[in-house]
Structure 1
Amino acid sequence: MSRNSKLTPLIGTAAAAVLLLTACGGGGGESPNEGMLDGVDLTAGSKEFTESVVLSQITSKALEDAGASIEDQTGISGSATVREALESDEVDFYWDYTGTGWVNILGNTTEDVPDDLFEAVSEADADNGIAWLDPAPFENTYRIAVKNDFAESNGLETMSDAAKFISDNEDQGKVCAASEFVNRDDGLPGLEEAYGFEFSDVVELDLNLIYPQVGKKCQFGEVFSTDARIKANDMTVLEDDKDFFVQYQGSMTLRQDTLDEHPEIAEIMDPISEKLTNEVMMELNGRVDTDGEMPEDVAEEWLEDQGLIGG
């Protein structure tokens, strides 16, 4: 079977839609950061998946509440593309992950990962003129998942279980995955090498289409560990028992010159990042992906509920 079959073309991202959002405060209530960024113009970026957009909307709402005007260019397709947009001044900030920084941006391997990955990434990327603000406590890691009933009937709990199963049952070894995961060293190629197997077929899909296709077009699927659609689609996440996947702790990234010019950004974001736990991110992601709410509405309501912006 072909390892590059495609079910459907990738869905266009929201990057084409650029909205200029004006600073309007928090809607009448007292703002904890009122006036700190008056007159500052910034452009928000994000990757195309829900969590990245939600995080950027949270940041945008908080900076707007402090007086900034934010141009919205969220939804850029691909890690390399949004990083290039940051480096070339097309966007001023977006959220990235330590694993992505270590492997894809800095060019390291998934082996010999330092104990304090955030410190290593932030120090190394400083040479590129990019600042990583203090990370949030959540970690959104790549995982492989299957339907609950498929896992139970075939005794699948770990990736080692899956590797043996696929080697013995090639007709049931198809994986649905997004193009980025298929091509990243810390994604599919490295995973197969670490566990000594190959999926019998790879179906490339837009990330948002993977979850409903597991159990239909594919037995296995790429997922993110904080994605609420795992539970909504009755899926079992397979344990990475060989610890292949690198830690993916979330952090806001921006150019160092932007941070030097507006150090208030870090002061505003610190108490926000501290509250972004795995549970919080899964809830916020679920409100978008499962409940159909808009990311900007979810972000604003959460910030108001936490007393982090004016209400």
Structure 2
Amino acid sequence: MRKLSTIAGLAALALTVTACGGGTTTLAEPSGRAGSTGSSGGTIVIGTANFTENVTLGYVYAGYLKSKGYEVTVKPNLGSREVIFPALQNGDIDLLPEYQGSLLLYLDKESKAADGAAQAAELKGKLPAGLKLLPFAPAEDKTIWMVTRATAAKYGLKSLEDLKKANGKLVYGGPPEDKTRRVGIVGLKDVYGAEFKAFRALDAGGPLTKTALKKGDIDVADIFSSDAEISSNDWVGLEDPQRLQPNENIAPVVREQKADDKLTAAFEALNPKLTTEALIQMNHKTDVEKEDPEDVADEWLKSTGLVS
């Protein structure tokens, strides 16, 4: 549903960070319409990763919290987890829309927790001091390793276990961090014995990766399971019998000083509406219909009755 352990003098990040889909943002500048509400509900700075779904989730959180009286700023497209998680630790942002499985593996490469409840329990003990995991939503967005139907037929690929039959022949494409992440090149080799001819650093399940797969510039692509374009392309998702990819329920991670009972209650009310199907529908609007993520978030919140 993608290492820096610290940010050396956040001045580096306060320079410009470029988003996958073009455009820029910085840690120093607010973005979007979800700004000051003039109320006394508290202030929250939401940061997001540099792919459209996470940006949309940031605006979903922002719009909903704004309706609850919070003053909210969104800083979208800040980068990968290796960038934005240290920013959260350092206090440059207050809250992140996260994916539990990948976050847990980021914190503990040896974790075997696969389902949402087990992951949440482990995360509560492994998050750095000063951070808190809030309740997770039923919505999930996992990595699915995709090949074209022609590639699947040529090499007899049905599951990730079959990749080793084509060792040294296939080009893998995905975000740069896939080269060192367990849910990426490292895990595919350790768990399935897969070795690739080359790795192409592209984007996190975005237009660069999908275009490269369509054109044949890469053979295996890291695509998000909630991607609305999967159904319109003749791609084959490789089965993952060893569960290299854990569950990826979406949950906010927040600085403890902001995580009061009111904030927790807000997400407990929001979460039941935030399903995988809702995620796919929002992704279709942003990725296929090319609508603005903030507009899509606002429309979804109103359609569910979460905001008026």
Q: What TM-score, normalized by structure 1, do the two folds share?
A: 0.83
Aligned to 2:30: 18
Within 5 Å, which residues of 2 pair with 1:140-159?
A: 140-152=141-153, 154-159=155-160
What's 2:4 paired with?
none
Aligned residues: 282
Instruction: Give, in angstroms, the shift of residue 253 of structure 1.
Output: 0.9
Between 1:42-51 and 1:112-121, the stretch displaced more is 112-121
Name 1:69's counterpart in structure 2. 71
Question: Is 1:231 matched with 2:231?
Answer: yes
Aligned residue among 288, 299, 303 for 2:301: 303
Question: 67, 79, 95: which is aligned to 2:81?
Answer: 79
Report SS of the residue matched to 2:129.
coil
**Is the Cα–Cα contact under 8 Å of residues 99 and 248 in structure 1 kept in the other structure?**
yes
What are the residue-to-residue correspondences of 1:168-247 with 2, within 5 Å?
Answer: 170-171=168-169, 173-207=170-204, 208=206, 209-215=208-214, 216-247=216-247
Identity of aligned residues (%): 25
What do you get for the CA RMSD once the two structures are aligned?
A: 2.3
**Distance in 2, Cα, partners of 1:19 & 1:113:** 35
**Aligned-pair CA distance for 1:174:** 0.9
Q: Residues of 2 paired with 1:235 and 1:141: CA distance?
A: 16
In structure 2, the partner of 1:58 is: 60
CA distance in 2, matches of 1:18, 1:159: 42
Q: How far did 1:152 drift?
A: 4.2
3-state DSSP of counterpart to 1:38: coil
**Equivalent position amino acid for 2:264 in 1:** A
- Per-residue displacement from partner, 1:234-253 (whole Å, max 9, x unpaired)? 32211112222222221011
Aligned partners of 2:194 and 2:104: how far apart in 1?
A: 25
Instruction: Summarize deviations over 1:118-149 as a string: whole Å, max 9, x none.
Output: 21112332x52211111111222222101234
- Unmatched 5+ residue regions in structure 2? 1-17
- Which residue in the other structure is 2:11 paired with? none
54 and 114 in structure 1: CA distance in 2 versus 1, 3 angstrom threshold: closer
CA deviation map 1:45-69 (0-9, x unaligned): 1111112111111000011122222
Whose relative contact order is higher, 1 or 2, with alpha carbons under 8 Å and at least 6 apart? 1
Contact 2:19 2:51 in 1 (8 A): no
User: Counterpart of 2:259?
Assistant: 259
Q: Do the aligned partners of 2:19 and 2:78 also contact (CA within 8 Å) in 1? A: no
1:29-178 → structure 2 map (5 Å cutoff): 38-104=40-106, 106-110=107-111, 112-113=112-113, 116-125=118-127, 128-152=129-153, 154-164=155-165, 166-167=166-167, 170-171=168-169, 173-178=170-175
Q: TM-score, normalised by structure 2?
A: 0.84
1:309–1:252 CA distance, 2 compared to 1 (3 A) = same
Deviation at 1:13, TM superposition (A): 5.8
Residues 244-271 of structure 1: CA distance to partner in whole angstroms, max 9, x if unpaired?
22222210110111113xx312212222
Q: Is the Cα–Cα contact under 8 Å of residues 143 and 225 in structure 1 kept in the other structure?
A: yes
Asked whether the 8 Å contact 1:97–1:248 carries over to 2, the reply is yes
- Tell me, which stretches of 5 or more residues in structure 1 are unaligned? 1-8, 25-34
Point out the structure with max Rg over C-alpha.
1
Give the CA deviation at 1:178: 0.9
| Deviations 1:174-209, CA, capped at 9 Å, x for gaps | 111110112213321121221112011111112321
Question: For 1:137-170, what per-residue CA distance to the aligned partner results, in whole angstroms no more than 9, with x for missing partners?
Answer: 1222222101234324543221112321x13xx4
Conserved? CA contact 2:56–2:293, under 8 Å: yes
| Native 8 Å contact 2:301 2:307 kept in 1 | yes
Q: 1:107 to 1:154 in 2, by over 3 A?
A: closer
Are the structure 2 counterparts of residues 74 and 65 from structure 1 closer, same or farther at C-alpha, using a change threshold of 3 Å?
same
